[in-house]
């Protein structure tokens, strides 16, 4: 999908999600269908988005470039940067090379975060959205969720998101900073294994005096 098409899809998605539907962003927010847009005339905000995905959980390489560990599991926070709450959001991970949505880097709900849920995207865990079914709508300040980085050889990625402040105030097709693919997680090292063995041995030896009593 071209960048323009991607942006259009997200924009349409956001128009559909603009009232921060209580059940989360609808499937139309994720796909390539061109839905009708009855009654929606507002354009998304063009001023800098006052919300962010906190990327400080990611390591930096020696040059300060953010990187993810392939297959690494992260707890991410989507939050306000100032004092303005939000009612709806949709976060998905995208491949930097072509803006396609990653389907092998699943999001998961954290049980305590009852204002979130897995998206209506395909596959469902390729996005995470709000689930604030109460009325009046919940005014959110931050939400947390789990994300598993894609496998090795995926390359650079970023997070795309849409966020709804009110029915007429929303930001479409936002982008986080880029994350490059970092080195794989080190395998469980023999050192760690021998450390465990040493601990067990130490524990057993510490029992010897007791056994002699």
Binding site for ligand NAG (CB under 6 A): 61-63
Q: State which residue, 61 or 98, has the beta carbon closest to ligand NAG.
A: 61
Q: How far is the CB of 59 from ligand NAG (least distance, A)?
A: 11
Beta-carbon contacts of 135 under 8 Å, excluding residues fewer than 6 positions away, are 22
- Based on CB atoms, which residue is closest to ligand NAG, 66 or 128? 66
Minimum distance from CB of 62 to ligand NAG (Å)?
5
Q: Within its chain, how far is the Cα of 167 from the centroid?
A: 23
Give DSSP secondary structure letters for 37-93.
-TT--PPPP-SPPSEEE--TTSEE-TTS-EEE-TT-EEEEEEEESSS--BSEEEEEE
CB of 169 to ligand NAG, least distance (A): 39
Alpha carbon distance 85, 96 (integer Å): 29
Least distance in angstroms from the C-beta of 157 to ligand NAG = 16
In sequence order, the β-bridge partners of residue 86 are 140
Residue 33, C-beta contacts closer than 8 angstroms, at least 6 positions apart: none
Query: What is the smallest separation between the CB atom of 183 and ligand NAG, expressed in angstroms?
Result: 9
**Contacts for 47 with CB less than 8 Å, ≥ 6 apart:** none
Q: Rank residues 2 and 63 by Cβ distance to ligand NAG and give the closer one.
A: 63
Residue 62 or 83: the one with the smaller Cβ distance to ligand NAG is: 62
Which of residues 71 and 156 has its CB atom nearest to ligand NAG in the complex?
156
In the sheet that holds 66-68, the strands lie side by side as 59-60, 66-68, 180-181
């Amino acid at each position: 999908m071209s960048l323009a098409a991607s942006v259009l899809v997200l924009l349409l998605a956001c128009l559909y999600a603009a009232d921060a539907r209580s059940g989360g962003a609808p499937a139309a927010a994720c796909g390539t269908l061109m839905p009708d847009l009855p009654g929606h005339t507002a354009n998304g905000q063009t001023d800098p988005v006052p919300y962010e995905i906190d990327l400080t959980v990611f390591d930096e390489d020696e040059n300060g470039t953010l990187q993810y560990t392939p297959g690494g599991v992260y707890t991410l926070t989507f939050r306000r940067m100032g004092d303005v709450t939000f009612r709806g959001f949709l976060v998905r991970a995208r491949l930097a090379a072509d803006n396609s949505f990653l389907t092998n880097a699943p999001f998961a709900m954290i049980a305590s975060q009852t204002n979130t849920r897995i998206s209506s995207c395909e596959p469902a865990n390729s996005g995470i959205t709000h689930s604030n079914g109460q009325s009046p709508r919940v005014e959110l300040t931050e939400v947390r969720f789990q994300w598993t980085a894609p496998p090795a050889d995926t390359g650079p990625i970023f997070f795309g998101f849409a966020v709804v402040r009110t029915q007429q105030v929303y930001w479409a097709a936002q982008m986080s900073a880029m994350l490059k693919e970092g080195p794989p997680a080190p395998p469980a090292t023999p050192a760690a294994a021998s450390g465990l063995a040493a601990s067990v041995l130490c524990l057993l030896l510490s029992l010897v005096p007791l056994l002699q009593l």
